[in-house]
Structure 1
Amino acid sequence: MRPTITEDVITLRSPVLANMSDDEFFDFCQLNSDLRIERTANHEILLMSPTGSRSGKRNARLAFQLGKWCEQHPNLGEYFDSNTGFTLPDTSVLSPDASWVSAEKWNALTTEQQDKFAPVCPEFVVELKSSSDSTKTLQAKMLDWLRNGVQLAWLVVPETETAYIYRPGQPEPEVVQGFDNELSGEDILPGFRLRLAELR
């Protein structure tokens, strides 16, 4: 097994890893809980170091805003933080920085499925770029989210104060420049507005 290192991501490729069941992959992640771990559709394992403090602050502020909206709309669905992994239709396991799953999808899962990497694609996800992330890599990840069924996805890049809004069937993302703007949850999260200024 030869790891590939790009940016702050280590990619592991091995027939053993490729043949891990979903339960075995979940157990592998629990045994290495000090790492952020994702799995590609090709069952490559991506190892990432914990986020830096400033990115952690931004993640917390993002989750707080989404959580406040969910408190006001408790019957619509559930929101999740950056530690949450989802098993997607293409068999990848990805962990967005924030996400939301409708009550209909969430309640259709068993308790056992909810306790692991739930086999469901969120309707809404946010990826928040840290200083060590590659914007190009995250843009490719946003397309993976759309291919798996996400209905609204935001990529937020604090250092350039840019937000990219991805929607199904849209050839290019909408670009919002400047953190004095707000992002709308549109029809997916009706009434939700993310105040970008809080992510500075």
Structure 2
Amino acid sequence: MGFSLNYAKSFFGTPLMQKDAYNVAGAVDYIFTTEHAWIVARIQSGEVLAWSVTVTDKRLKVDLRNLTFGLVKGKLGRSRFSDVVEQPSGVIEEVGSVSYAYAERTYFGRPSAYQSFVFMHNLEGVGTFENGGSTSAVGTRPFSPQTARSRLWKALGRLASPRRSTHFRRVAVTTRSLKAEPQCGR
């Protein structure tokens, strides 16, 4: 993906913590904090498999064009799902007694170096949300256009209101060798 753990450390310092990656054997998640954002790099055998940025300061304006090869226009913590992804290839909504998470995946193929982009709203970060009315996860899991495509579009119809009014706080980028299935609430 173009950077290493040492490169990330040169920008963000020592990781706040590291832990074994959920569902990827041998991979480690390195979590960095800055004054304005959380950065996670998932690394396996020196290779960055995925990374994410979560905006935690409403004054920070992360332009998505810089992170998505110019394919997505918007800003983390400010843009709404419906503003940046016209037709996601996957959707997940999770509602708990005191938590809410919503994520959409998009994939552009070659123009994005075959990376998947997951835009997410969860407990961390800044921005507003509107619940779609679900009491459990909906959509496709893992994010996949091959699984339950009709269920996805049915869920998107029900989720029209959250898509219009929810700001996403996090963008996660994964390589094609890693399933784009985020841990919404984590």
With the length of structure 1 as denominator, give the TM-score of the two structures.
0.27
Structure with more helix by fraction: 1
